[in-house]
A and B are shown apart, each in its own frame.
Chain A
Amino acid sequence: MRLVTRTLFAALFAATTTLAGPLAALADADRLVIDLVDEPTSLDPHLQWNPDSYYVYRNIFDNLLTRDDEGEIIPQIATEWEQVSDTETVFTIRDDVTFHDGSPLTAEDVVYSVKRITDPEFGSPQLSQFESITNAEVLEDGRVKLTTATGYPALFAQLVKLSIVPKAIVEEMGREAFNRAPIGSGPYKFDSWQRGVEVGLVRNDDYWGDAGPFPAAVFRAVPDASTRVANLTSGASDLVVGMDPDLAAQLEASDGVSPVSALTERVAYLSVNRNKPGLDDPRLRKAIAHAIDRELLVEGLLGGFDNPVGQMLTPAHVGWIEGLEGVPYDPDAARALIAEVGEPATRPFSFATSPVFDQRIVQALQQMLGEVGLTVNIEMTDMATYLQKSQSPPEQAPDLGFGRWSCACQDADGVLYPLLHSSSSWSRVRDDDLDVLLESARSEMDPDRRQELYGQIHEWIAEEVPQVPLYQAAIIYGASDNLEWSPTPNESLFLNRMGWSE
């Protein structure tokens, strides 16, 4: 017993003596300070898929391909590529790239990166994005060949998220050490990581491309949005993430800072569970679609930052069809349909949401549905529970749900297949004809024919209303007026595309 007490006291003592440690030196003027919501959970680019992580690691690692500021897919590690058949593509690899330790980046590293992220044993959260790749090999001429199971036109859109890791270093360091001190080939080098506080990067002066003007950059974790605003306005940070339109208004009213926004490839929608009593009647689902006034949501609540859409996609997606309006706002038609449905429409409907979403939108939707005579109860649970509920069998899932979908691929397949195909756990639709459409659209290599197929799917959605598309979400940052930067739809913070004004 004495031993236990002694150990406990020793532990307490050790804890207190480290007290002097945490207080680091003050900021200097040469570095860019960015406030994220949370710290990155991991800096191994294959191990983590959340914005706070990839905001940081996309600066440490290069991707096989990338998108320019206009959203076009352009070369990065691969200089050119050639589609040798529907299922095979050959990539030429840049030969002047070195990792931060000085070793050259080779075709071997590219193949290793593909194999690592697609290995089910490795357990990458991104596995699904690259599942279609069945093989990667180095050809005799030093180029890399990727093979997919079927034709897969979205492959290039996925490869902009394939970070290239150094094979020799990863194998030597092991998973845990690499996660702690990652080595990549990107414009910034990993410098330091104070857990819970900040991650520091320094510029890679040997970068093959443009490394940008900042000698150093710091990403800090600031969970509370009001505090991030305070940091920005007081000059403690240069760029903050996670603003909403009302906070943006606050920034506009302050000197020296402004909101900076871009329309993303995230589509906000209201899901309607067609397996629940009442909602199994297509007329009621249609009525719900008629009840929603997207324009009012965007203009009245979202300050015009976002963009109303009538299809389950955004203009940033392949598969978006210009001019397709979807179900129009028509509350009278909604009321008429609800009257036709009669008794099954009178029960209260549950409406699932989570604190991470904008609760103003959810409450406004509730009010709009209430105005046409439906009783809707908001059920807000934290994200883990929300996801678990939405993944439960369709008969037990909530009646309605608010969602914001991003496949980070700007391709219709990444949105419509998981949300509508009967094999997907995210989908509440079980329809054989639709499945066939989705499958052929996924692998159709002729762009025009593919567009046509997605057109049919959009029509099916407007008719059957498994979801009501709402708006193309904007992402709003707060930035110091000294910072010059235009954000892109893919929600990335590429430091080498930012600069100081003057």
Chain B
Amino acid sequence: MTGSPRLRRWLPPRLWIFVAILAMMVLAALLAPLIAPQNPEAQNLLGRQRPPGTELRDITYLLGSDELGRDLLSRLIYGARVSLTVAALSVLVSGTIGTALGMIAAWLGGWIGTIIMRLVDIVLSVPAILLAIITVAILGPGFVNVIAVLAFTRWPRYARVAYGQTLGLMNLPYVRLSRFMGASTPRVLLRHILPNIIGPIMVVVTLEFGLMVLFEAGLSFLGLGVQPPMPSWGAILSTGRNYVTTAWWIAVFPGLFLFLLILSVNVLGDHVRDVVEGRR
């Protein structure tokens, strides 16, 4: 199976390591309650900032303890859950909304299309992080709000791509034919248009996923991310910055994980783009 030439062509062996990294992170996120050695929120104010490997009251802090004496490894495992969920959900929501609106705008055209695409312009013309900051400041930070804000600021990317692609497909003979045969608009869009534009949309998805992880981290840095004590890699990292010289592990491990996650997504995304654009 692993040696199959088709798989090799589809996913060259040099990329397997990145797939493995991603798979491990997703697994850690899914199984967090089972594999985390400690409760990620249990503090020990008398055991703060202990180096990796410290044993304290029958607890071994494999990756050390953080600024409140919590087990860093457990926080990172649960943090995988938070960071991946935030990124995945915001990509899912913005991708769905953006793609749908883009297709509708292209298909219907007219004033509805104009309004949608002007809305795209409006949202795109405000720097994304600025819009996110203003919105979080108003809605208040928190898990759901962070996702909402990221989705709200990012959907236009997908809308643009979907719009352009749909315009290109609309006049193809088979699309016109199915229209002529009396297929309803949703049916045409879902059955004939969507499967044909999903490739370019997936390219945007891979680009955006890494960005969303970074954005969440940036919001945490500005104090607008998920609510404490919920761990996200971005949140752990932004506190960890203050301990680079005194408790390096709080800054290094989340940084490393975040880096590996985004790197894997970027490398694989690069590959997806090559495949979709048909350039090998």
Contacts and interface: CB of A to CB of B under 8 A. Distances in A.
Direct contact of A and B (CB under 8 A): yes
A364 B245 contact: no
A376 to B, nearest CB: 11
Contacts of A247: 242
Contacts of B68: 301, 360, 363-364
Given A226-B241, A296-B45, A363 B228 contact: yes
A381 B42 CA distance: 23
B12 interface: no
B228 A380 contact: yes
A384 interface: yes
B227 A385 contact: no
A382 B223 contact: yes
Contacts of B41: 367
Interface in A359-390: 359-360, 362-364, 366-367, 377-382, 384-385
Nearest to A382: B137
Interface residue range, chain A: 20 to 34
B45 A364 contact: yes
A249 interface: yes
Given A246-B67, A355-B223, A364-B43, A379 B245 contact: no
A300 interface: yes
B168 interface: no
A377 B241 contact: no
Nearest to B239: A359
The majority secondary structure among interface residues of chain A is: helix
B229 A366 contact: yes
A385 B246 contact: no
B243 A246 contact: yes
Contact of A363 (B222, B229, B241): B229
A236 to B, nearest CB: 17
Secondary structure dominating the interface of B: loop
Contact of B140 (A244, A250, A381): A381
- Size range of the chain B interface in the assembly: 20 to 34
Given A246-B67, A250-B245, A300 B46 contact: yes
B269 interface: no
A300 B243 CA distance: 17
Interface string A283-296: 00000000000001
Contact of A378 (B222, B223, B227): B227
B109 to A, nearest CB: 26
Interface in A232-291: 244, 246-247, 249-250, 253-254
B259 to A, nearest CB: 19
A300 B137 contact: no
B20 interface: no
B246 A249 contact: yes
Contacts of B228: 359, 362-363, 378, 380
Contact of A381 (B45, B141, B239): B141
Interface string B34-57: 000000011101101100000000
B245 A385 contact: no
Nearest to B46: A300
A250 B227 contact: no
Given A226-B241, A253-B246, A378-B227, A385 B140 contact: yes
Contacts of A254: 245
Interface string B111-139: 00000000000000000000000000110
Which of B42, B48, B223: most chain A Cβ within 10 A? B223
A377 B239 CA distance: 20
B24 interface: no
Contacts of B45: 296-297, 300-301, 364
A8 to B, nearest CB: 15
Contacts of B67: 246, 360
A225 interface: yes
Nearest to A359: B228
A253 B247 CA distance: 12
A346 B142 CA distance: 22
Nearest to A355: B223
Given A301-B45, A367-B43, A250 B246 contact: yes
Contact of A377 (B138, B227, B243, B244): B227
B237 interface: no
B224 interface: yes
Interface string B66-89: 011000000000000000000000
A250 B45 CA distance: 18
A363 B43 contact: yes
Given A246-B67, A246-B242, A250-B245, A378 B229 contact: yes
Contacts of A244: 242
A27 to B, nearest CB: 24
B134 to A, nearest CB: 11
A226 B137 CA distance: 24
Nearest to B141: A380
B245 A253 contact: yes
A354 B49 CA distance: 24
Contacts of A296: 45
Contacts of A362: 228
Contacts of B245: 250, 253-254
Contacts of A226: 241-242, 244
Contacts of A250: 242-243, 245-246
B219 to A, nearest CB: 11
Among A250, A364, A379, A381, which residue has the most Cβ atoms of chain B within 10 A? A381
A251 to B, nearest CB: 10
Contacts of A249: 246
B223 A380 contact: yes
Interface in B155-176: none
Contact of A384 (B137, B229, B242, B246): B137
Interface in A336-368: 354-355, 359-360, 362-364, 366-367
Contacts of A246: 49, 67, 242-243, 246
Contacts of A378: 227-229
A359 B226 CA distance: 13
Contacts of A363: 43, 68, 228-229
Contacts of B49: 246
B227 A380 contact: yes
A449 to B, nearest CB: 42
A362 B224 CA distance: 16
A380 B48 CA distance: 23
Nearest to B235: A359
Nearest to A303: B48
B43 A382 contact: no
Q: A-B pairs with the 3 shortest C-beta distances?
A: A355-B223, A300-B45, A381-B140
16 contacts: A226-B242, A246-B67, A247-B242, A250-B243, A250-B245, A253-B246, A300-B45, A301-B48, A355-B224, A360-B68, A363-B68, A363-B229, A379-B140, A379-B142, A381-B141, A385-B140
Given A246-B49, A300-B46, A379-B227, 4 more contacts: A246-B246, A300-B45, A380-B228, A381-B137
